[in-house]
Protein backbone atom coordinates (compact mmCIF):
# COMPACT_ATOMS: atom_id res chain seq x y z
CA UNK A 1 0.00 0.00 0.00
CA UNK A 2 1.38 3.42 -0.93
CA UNK A 3 1.57 6.42 1.39
CA UNK A 4 -1.22 8.07 -0.55
CA UNK A 5 -3.49 5.02 -0.23
CA UNK A 6 -2.69 4.60 3.45
CA UNK A 7 -3.46 8.19 4.33
CA UNK A 8 -6.67 8.20 2.31
CA UNK A 9 -7.80 4.90 3.85
CA UNK A 10 -7.01 6.11 7.34
CA UNK A 11 -8.81 9.38 6.82
CA UNK A 12 -11.68 8.22 4.65
CA UNK A 13 -10.24 10.23 1.73
CA UNK A 14 -10.74 13.57 3.54
CA UNK A 15 -8.48 15.84 1.51
CA UNK A 16 -7.91 18.45 4.25
CA UNK A 17 -6.99 15.77 6.78
CA UNK A 18 -4.71 13.98 4.35
CA UNK A 19 -3.09 17.32 3.49
CA UNK A 20 -2.40 18.03 7.15
CA UNK A 21 -0.82 14.62 7.76
CA UNK A 22 1.19 14.75 4.55
CA UNK A 23 2.42 18.27 5.30
CA UNK A 24 3.51 17.23 8.81
CA UNK A 25 5.39 14.20 7.49
CA UNK A 26 7.00 16.24 4.70
CA UNK A 27 8.09 18.93 7.15
CA UNK A 28 9.62 16.38 9.51
CA UNK A 29 11.21 14.42 6.68
CA UNK A 30 12.81 17.43 5.06
CA UNK A 31 14.14 17.13 1.55
CA UNK A 32 14.94 13.44 1.92
CA UNK A 33 11.27 12.49 1.63
CA UNK A 34 11.64 10.25 4.67
CA UNK A 35 8.62 11.61 6.51
CA UNK A 36 8.04 8.48 8.58
CA UNK A 37 11.66 8.38 9.71
CA UNK A 38 11.57 12.06 10.58
CA UNK A 39 8.33 11.60 12.47
CA UNK A 40 9.79 8.72 14.49
CA UNK A 41 12.91 10.74 15.29
CA UNK A 42 10.88 13.78 16.36
CA UNK A 43 8.72 11.70 18.69
CA UNK A 44 11.76 9.91 20.12
CA UNK A 45 13.48 13.24 20.79
CA UNK A 46 10.52 14.30 22.94
CA UNK A 47 10.42 11.02 24.87
CA UNK A 48 7.45 9.68 22.91
CA UNK A 49 9.22 6.91 21.00
CA UNK A 50 6.95 4.28 22.53
CA UNK A 51 3.88 6.13 21.26
CA UNK A 52 4.99 6.33 17.63
CA UNK A 53 6.40 2.79 17.79
CA UNK A 54 2.93 1.55 18.72
CA UNK A 55 1.53 3.09 15.53
CA UNK A 56 4.15 1.35 13.41
CA UNK A 57 3.90 -1.99 15.19
CA UNK A 58 1.13 -4.52 14.85
CA UNK A 59 -0.39 -4.06 18.32
CA UNK A 60 -2.70 -1.48 19.84
CA UNK A 61 -2.01 2.18 18.96
CA UNK A 62 -1.20 4.37 21.94
CA UNK A 63 -3.02 7.72 22.00
CA UNK A 64 -1.30 11.06 21.58
CA UNK A 65 -2.63 14.35 22.90
CA UNK A 66 -2.82 17.68 21.10
CA UNK A 67 -0.28 19.00 23.63
CA UNK A 68 2.14 16.20 22.75
CA UNK A 69 1.72 16.94 19.04
CA UNK A 70 2.45 20.60 19.81
CA UNK A 71 5.57 19.59 21.74
CA UNK A 72 6.87 17.31 18.97
CA UNK A 73 6.20 19.68 16.08
CA UNK A 74 6.87 23.00 17.80
CA UNK A 75 4.80 26.17 17.60
CA UNK A 76 6.29 27.45 14.35
CA UNK A 77 5.65 24.26 12.41
CA UNK A 78 2.16 23.88 13.87
CA UNK A 79 1.31 27.41 12.75
CA UNK A 80 2.64 26.73 9.24
CA UNK A 81 0.72 23.47 8.93
CA UNK A 82 -2.47 25.02 10.26
CA UNK A 83 -2.24 27.93 7.83
CA UNK A 84 -1.57 25.53 4.96
CA UNK A 85 -4.88 23.73 5.51
CA UNK A 86 -6.87 26.72 6.78
CA UNK A 87 -7.27 25.74 10.44
CA UNK A 88 -6.43 27.48 13.71
CA UNK A 89 -3.29 25.95 15.30
CA UNK A 90 -5.28 24.43 18.19
CA UNK A 91 -7.63 22.71 15.76
CA UNK A 92 -4.70 21.41 13.71
CA UNK A 93 -2.99 19.81 16.72
CA UNK A 94 -6.29 18.33 17.94
CA UNK A 95 -6.95 16.91 14.49
CA UNK A 96 -3.43 15.55 14.14
CA UNK A 97 -3.72 13.84 17.53
CA UNK A 98 -6.73 11.95 16.21
CA UNK A 99 -5.65 11.14 12.66
CA UNK A 100 -1.87 10.78 12.77
CA UNK A 101 -1.93 7.45 14.66
CA UNK A 102 -4.40 6.02 12.14
CA UNK A 103 -2.43 7.24 9.13
CA UNK A 104 0.92 5.98 10.40
CA UNK A 105 -0.63 2.67 11.49
CA UNK A 106 -1.71 1.99 7.92
CA UNK A 107 1.60 2.96 6.31
CA UNK A 108 3.94 0.14 7.28
CA UNK A 109 3.24 -3.38 6.07
CA UNK A 110 3.31 -5.89 8.92
CA UNK A 111 4.81 -3.46 11.41
CA UNK A 112 7.95 -2.53 9.50
CA UNK A 113 8.82 0.90 8.20
CA UNK A 114 8.54 1.30 4.42
CA UNK A 115 11.56 1.97 2.28
CA UNK A 116 12.51 5.62 1.87
CA UNK A 117 12.16 5.34 -1.91
CA UNK A 118 8.51 4.33 -1.67
CA UNK A 119 7.74 7.07 0.83
CA UNK A 120 9.52 9.63 -1.35
CA UNK A 121 7.58 8.54 -4.43
CA UNK A 122 4.26 8.71 -2.61
CA UNK A 123 5.06 12.13 -1.20
CA UNK A 124 5.79 13.34 -4.73
CA UNK A 125 2.43 12.00 -5.87
CA UNK A 126 0.66 13.87 -3.09
CA UNK A 127 2.46 17.11 -3.94
CA UNK A 128 1.19 16.82 -7.49
CA UNK A 129 -2.42 16.56 -6.31
CA UNK A 130 -2.49 19.91 -4.55
Range of the domain at 49: 3-128
Residues of the chain with pLDDT under 50: 1-2, 4, 30-33, 110-130
How confident is the model at residue 7, as a pLDDT?
56
Our count of domains for the chain comes to 1
How confident is the model at residue 19, as a pLDDT?
73
How confident is the model at residue 31, as a pLDDT?
42
How confident is the model at residue 45, as a pLDDT?
93
- CATH number of the domain within which 70 lies: 1.10.10.690
How confident is the model at residue 61, as a pLDDT?
93
How confident is the model at residue 116, as a pLDDT?
42
DSSP codes of every residue in the chain: --HHHHHHHHTTT-HHHHHHHHHHHHHHHGGGT-HHHHHHHHHHHTT-HHHHHHHHSSSPPPP--HHHHHHHH-HHHHHHHHHHHT--HHHHHHHHHHHHHHHHHHSSGGG-PPPHHHHHHHHHHHHHT-
Amino acid sequence: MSLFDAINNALDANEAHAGLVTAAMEALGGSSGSGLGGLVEAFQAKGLGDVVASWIGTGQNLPVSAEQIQSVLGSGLVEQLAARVGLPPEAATALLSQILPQAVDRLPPEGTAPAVGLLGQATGLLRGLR
